[in-house]
Chains A and B, each alone.
Chain A
């Protein structure tokens, strides 16, 4: 059985760092398929690996091959995509990474996206965990990646706007015909207790689990030196928060 986890949230909340640390922790329990579905961030850098090919590029290459009539009629586009996705996987210790990459241009992508979703769904079945670092709009969840999500982790900063965005994401995923298990809110970079104004809003929206992670003093040094977040020292507040999150996931 594969457990699918989506990490979403407003930009600048530390979502990608949290995704990377979660992938690192889960990969000690079972093999993880990491999907970078936010073109604005670089999950690969947080994980310390290089990406050479993205799903977006594969899709563009296929439509170019189709328009030039150079795809063999005997090879279905589904098989073509399956193989290109396998070749695009960044295979690392304990996890494989797939980058979704750039968004679509004009024209029709219904068929291509449907085929991509089948490919990625099929691929995901080989892993203990699938962790998707998603953009706030959840575009790729409906279009290209799996429909069913076991855990939705929404990351927010200690602001009304961040928590309201979290509420929007929660509403959005319910609207998308996606089956969702537990929804967990992570408030990142807290200092002390969560203020009452924010706490009231959190209770009003309602989440199944709430995790508060304090400002991590070790992170900014890593960021300045360009070192992957996965090299954060043991005992960092972020690591403790991620461990709590992983326990909720059952990892």
Chain B
């Protein structure tokens, strides 16, 4: 059993946010100067984990020169009846908090970007072994997370060995990201709102969901969650999702309520995934516009970097003038380009199958989110220059929307 009295330094939340400057540093692990570094939590079965074991592979703190930088791998194995695979990243994220709770230790970042510093004072007090750091982490993990029944920690400081292990860790991180990218509005209780642009567009309220990134493309759902936690009084805030009123168009009671309050009563109804009737408001910062083309009853996409005229003869700048200002403009939706990747992209209007034109650059960049059977049927500036040519093009290639094959949900 680990006891706090055995430790050479103190542990507590008062040490969080404490920065170790280079002048005060004894040694550092990871960071920009280290070749390889990462931390990883792995769930194992009960008989695979030797409880409270701390192993060090490579040199320990006391073997290192003052002021030196070392590679590091921090491997934590856990076991417990109630633990699930999905909890690994959450438990791994606790490293950051726990490490920073140790007097004289500073921890930044996560995964393969970690950066840990130990200050001279704590080293002098006797914190000269990773064994003790491991004991402290085990103490913190087991006293705060009861579901962890068994835990062991391995520190690897041998550079070649860290590099070898890192390759496998990268595969695990990539797999986790894939799962996260699949997060849906149905999976969460809270969305986030942003009113940073209200200085330009006083009634604009951006709504950020796992399937809708902010218009500027800079804030996704995870960013919203982090920003709100860090600065709860700031311009980015939580939005209670409420009841889902219209699953297809993306209407939620909580979002409606929020928009009414934040737009000073201007709008009380918002469809998150439709450009018609009650579209999301547009600030002035959007990366692109999804615009209605009446001749073919479909949509085109144009982004800020496209300087020429679009298929309807107007440039991005000209259209931006009529789209922006924090209003709901039917058939003209300011949006982030990344919204094209959302499975709910204007799903109320037919989604990607309702798109008939976009600049070549956008089409190439977002190729993977355009269905293969549709890709060649979306026109670009190379194919057509006006609505008449567009109509002829769509008929020639047999665009599914023009052929009437797309059913609105």
Contact = CB atoms under 8 A, between A and B. Distances in A.
Interface of A: 31, 63, 66-67, 69, 72-79, 82-83, 86-87, 91, 93-94, 96, 106-108, 110-112, 114-115, 118, 122-123, 125-126
Which of A66, A91, A107, A110 gathers the greatest number of chain B CB atoms within 10 Å? Answer: A110
Nearest to A91: B22
Interface stretch (B72-80, B118-126, B224-232, B343-351): B224-232
Which of A69, A93, A122 gathers the greatest number of chain B CB atoms within 10 Å? Answer: A69
29 contacts: A66-B217, A66-B218, A73-B177, A73-B181, A74-B89, A74-B176, A74-B177, A75-B222, A77-B219, A77-B223, A77-B226, A78-B223, A82-B108, A83-B113, A87-B32, A93-B23, A94-B23, A96-B21, A106-B304, A107-B285, A107-B304, A108-B216, A108-B285, A110-B218, A110-B285, A111-B218, A111-B219, A122-B17, A126-B18
A94 B230 CA distance: 29
Interface in B221-246: 222-223, 225-227, 230-231, 234-236
B214 to A, nearest CB: 7
Interface in B291-338: 304, 337-338
A69 B213 CA distance: 12
Given A67-B337, A74-B180, A93-B23, A83 B217 contact: no
A110 to B, nearest CB: 4
B220 interface: yes
Interface string B171-205: 00100110011010000000000101100000000
Given A72-B173, A79-B109, A91 B218 contact: no
Contact of A76 (B177, B225, B285, B337): B225
Contact of B230 (A74, A93, A107, A118): A118
B29 interface: no
A111 B194 contact: yes
B140 to A, nearest CB: 21
A69 B365 CA distance: 10
Contacts of B109: 79, 83
B341 interface: yes
A33 to B, nearest CB: 10
Interface size band for B:
35 or more
Contacts of B196: 110-111, 114
B115 interface: yes
Contacts, number: 97
Contacts of B115: 83, 86-87
Nearest to A68: B365
A142 to B, nearest CB: 11
B31 interface: yes
A78 B23 contact: no
B213 to A, nearest CB: 9
Given A86-B108, A111-B216, 17 more contacts: A31-B21, A72-B111, A72-B173, A73-B177, A73-B220, A75-B111, A76-B223, A77-B219, A77-B226, A78-B227, A83-B108, A87-B32, A87-B115, A93-B23, A107-B285, A108-B216, A110-B285
Nearest to A90: B22
A21 B347 CA distance: 61
Nearest to B181: A73
Contacts of B235: 114
A125 B17 contact: yes
Contacts of B337: 67
B385 interface: no
A72 B177 CA distance: 6
A106 B17 CA distance: 34
Q: Which 7 A-B pairs have the closest CB atoms?
A: A108-B285, A76-B226, A111-B218, A91-B22, A108-B216, A126-B19, A110-B196
A71 to B, nearest CB: 9
Contact of A91 (B23, B108, B110, B226): B23
Given A74-B176, A74-B177, A79-B110, A115 B227 contact: yes
Interface in B63-83: none
A24 B403 CA distance: 74
Nearest to A107: B304
A79 B177 contact: no
Contact of B214 (A67, A78, A111): A111
Contacts of A74: 89, 176-177, 180, 222
B334 to A, nearest CB: 11
Nearest to B220: A73
A160 to B, nearest CB: 34
Given A110-B197, A111-B194, A78 B220 contact: no
A125 B32 CA distance: 23
Contact of B226 (A78, A83, A93, A111): A78
A107 to B, nearest CB: 6
Contacts of B22: 91
Contacts of A110: 196-197, 216, 218, 285
Contacts of A31: 21
